[in-house]
Amino acid sequence: MDFRKAFRVKPGKKVRLAKTSTSYHAGLDEDAARQILARNKKRLAELQRPFIAEERRSLLVVLQAMDTAGKDGVIRKVLTGLNPQFCKVTSFRAPTAEEAGHDFLWRAHKAAPARGEIAVFNRSHYEDVLIVRVHDLVPPKVWGKRYADINLFEDLLHRHGTHIVKLYLHISKAEQRRRFESRIATPAKHFKVNPRDFPERARWDDYMQAFEEVFRRCSPAHAPWYVIPADHKWFRDAAVSQILADTLADMKPKFPKGDFKPEELEIPD
């Protein structure tokens, strides 16, 4: 199955998240999905080597989701095996004093990948049209202009060799409740529990509307959004791994040729 084609948001398309399945699994069972994940992790590791060596392009992976949807899980399960020297993860929390003193895209641009790198944004610059909008942190006339700023920013990255993949991990409100309950019931997961996250459930519909607006306005061909069904963690990981591996494969990275003639080299004793 072509997961990119299945889950990609076409430019300008209106997505209705309430009508988009969170539990779809393409007819796969858990064992089959884990086999797909294993194959794609191997592909990613193999493709990363020439990608690093050619040092011509970069890859930016943006992860957005409601709490418990699995952003950390995707990073841990899908990207394990990549060379960590050339794969960096940035988590975007509330802006620091330094970050707040700049334009809202400053911290994102600062964390963008260099040539030969893969960068993963755990949350991202989209928070400034998501939580900022839902919580009325700035007036609509301010955040309303940010969609255009984001598109221009991503276009700039694209023109300078950065391929962009944006993944929304789509879970149901009921599944989120189950995951919160599991965290509360499991001492080893208590570090993940933040009681301040629970009231956000009351704003669920507001967040869905904010995400839908993001998908409609910010999913151009060169920086597409993918809406990934994420109630089944094993399917989520298989789909994400396939999308990332296929994206790198389409880039056709190649090892550069040496600027020497091997037969003329002599290694001194």
What pLDDT digit, counting tens, does each position of 10-62 carry? Answer: 999 999 999 999 999 999 999 999 999 999 999 999 999 999 999 999 999 99
DSSP 54-106: H-S-EEEEEEEESTTSSHHHHHHHHSTTS-GGGEEEEE--SPPHHHHTS-TTH
pLDDT at 269: 86
- Angstrom distance (rounded) from CA 215 to CA 240: 18
pTM exceeding 0.75: yes
47: Cβ–Cβ under 8 A, 6 or more apart, which residues? 245, 248, 249, 253
> Using CA atoms, how far apart are residues 242 and 6, in angstroms rounded to an integer?
12
pLDDT, position 259: 84
Q: What is the pLDDT of residue 196?
A: 84
Q: In which band, very low, low, confident or very high, does the pLDDT at 223 lie, cut at 50, 70 and 90?
A: very high
Say if residues 89 and 75 touch (Cβ distance below 8 Å).
yes
pLDDT of 258 higher than 90: no
238 pLDDT band, cuts 50/70/90, is very high
Q: Angle at Cα 235 formed by Cα 73 and Cα 225, nearest 5°? A: 75
How many Å apart are CA 46 and CA 38, to the nearest integer? 13
Cα separation, 133 vs 2, whole angstroms: 34
Q: Which domains does the chain have, with CATH numbers?
A: 3-253 (3.40.50.300)
Q: Reduce the DSSP state of residue 154 to 3 states and report it.
A: helix
Residue type, 28: L
pLDDT > 90? residue 171: yes
